[in-house]
Amino acid sequence: MTVPHAVRPGGRFAQLLRERAFAITAEISPPLSADKADLLKKVLPLKGLADAVNVTDGAGARAHMSATSAAAFMVECGVEPVLQLTCRDRNRIALQSDLLGAAAAGVRNVMILRGDDPARGDQPEARPVFDYDTRELIAVAARMRDAGELASGRKIAAPPDFFIGAADLPVDPQPGWSPQALRAKCEAGAQFVQTQFCMDGGLVARYVARLRAEGIVPRLRILIGVAPLRSARSARWIRDNLFGSVIPDAIVERLDAASDPAAEGAAICLDLIAQLAAIDGVAGVHLMAPGHDEIVPEVIAQARVRLS
């Protein structure tokens, strides 16, 4: 019997989230290199540890190895990628073509993002495209999977089997607050969410409780962005420069007072992961370590031991 493509099983990452297992994902930026070996130096230390690894698409509005090609190389070496695809750089024709190419290479997880402002990058004269916004591109990816057709209505010979993600900024919900943007992404076809850095477990509990009250959880699987902070200076930089990041003053003060800030940052992150794993509605964590990638495999390994 032929299984309809809309209900075909996805990759291991999707299966974990469907089974309500607590997932741990990580993130890499492809190198500024034309050598695949330089990518694998970043990816292979995460093999067997992270449930999936995000590959960024022009993060910081800077060029690097193609995210789609990098994701394909990751599939080849046995690491399940989450391909980030931004609306910033391509029109709708190119975006749909890239989605098909990624699916043909075995990429099943895609995360749809707006993309950083080119004015923040090293080529500020670059012209953004934004032919689609994130909700529209999520809907197109879902239509390609579920209806087996492009936005134009043209039929796809072998439809992709995408597990579709989106981003969100955790907030401490005030009376009357409603997650309209996240609801729109969910209704367009998003299935999981990875958030910006949020190092406040109490805030996360209140945020997820509101999402549950609004009917968004468990429809969407929520993974909270966390970081093994390297220093108080790094924490301040993230909080001040990465929009929507939440790092409480108490954490910055602990890092300031620590004799070994990097070790303290890892300990804080591990404690937070354990706290988040106990919150109903938190499906996992997304581990990001700007400028500190080398610590991520060890943090994941230690988190697995604590959660077992």
- Inside any domain, residue 62: yes
What the block records as the tokens of 272 is 């937070």
Considering the domain boundaries, does residue 262 fall inside one? no
Confirm if 197 and 225 have CB atoms less than 8 A apart.
yes
Q: Is residue 159 part of a domain?
A: yes
Nearest Cα residue to 216 out of 197, 198, 191: 191
Region label for 37, one of left (φ > 0), alpha (ψ between -120 and 50) or beta (otherwise): alpha
Q: What is the pLDDT of residue 10?
A: 63
Which CATH number is 21's domain given? 3.20.20.220
CA 288 to chain centre: 9
Q: Diameter of the chain by CA atoms?
A: 63
Angle at 218 between CA 275 and CA 74, to 5 degrees: 75
Whether 184 is covered by a domain: the verdict is no
Residue with tokens 């989450």: 82
Predicted confidence pLDDT, tens digits, the chain (308 residues): 233 334 344 699 999 999 999 999 999 999 999 999 999 999 999 999 999 999 999 999 999 999 999 999 999 999 999 999 999 999 999 999 999 999 999 999 999 999 999 999 999 999 999 999 999 999 999 999 999 999 999 999 999 999 999 999 999 999 999 999 999 999 999 999 999 999 999 999 999 999 999 999 999 999 999 999 999 999 999 999 999 999 999 999 999 999 999 999 999 999 999 999 999 999 999 999 988 899 999 999 999 999 99
Which domain covers residue 56, as residue numbers? Answer: 5-168
Q: Please give the angle made by the CA atoms of 22, 23 and 26, to the nearest 5 degrees.
A: 150
- The amino acid sitting at 258 is A
Query: What letters, b where the CB count within 10 A reaches 16 and e where it falls short, cover 217-248?
Result: beebbbbbbbbbbbbbebbebbbeeeeebbbb
| 135 domain residue, yes or no | yes
What's the structural domain count of the chain? 1
Does 234 reside within a domain?
A: no
DSSP 160-201: ---EEEEEE----PPTT---HHHHHHHHHT--EEEEEEB--H
Residue 241 inside a domain? The answer is no
Indicate whether 76 belongs to any domain: yes
The pTM (predicted TM-score) of the whole model is 0.95
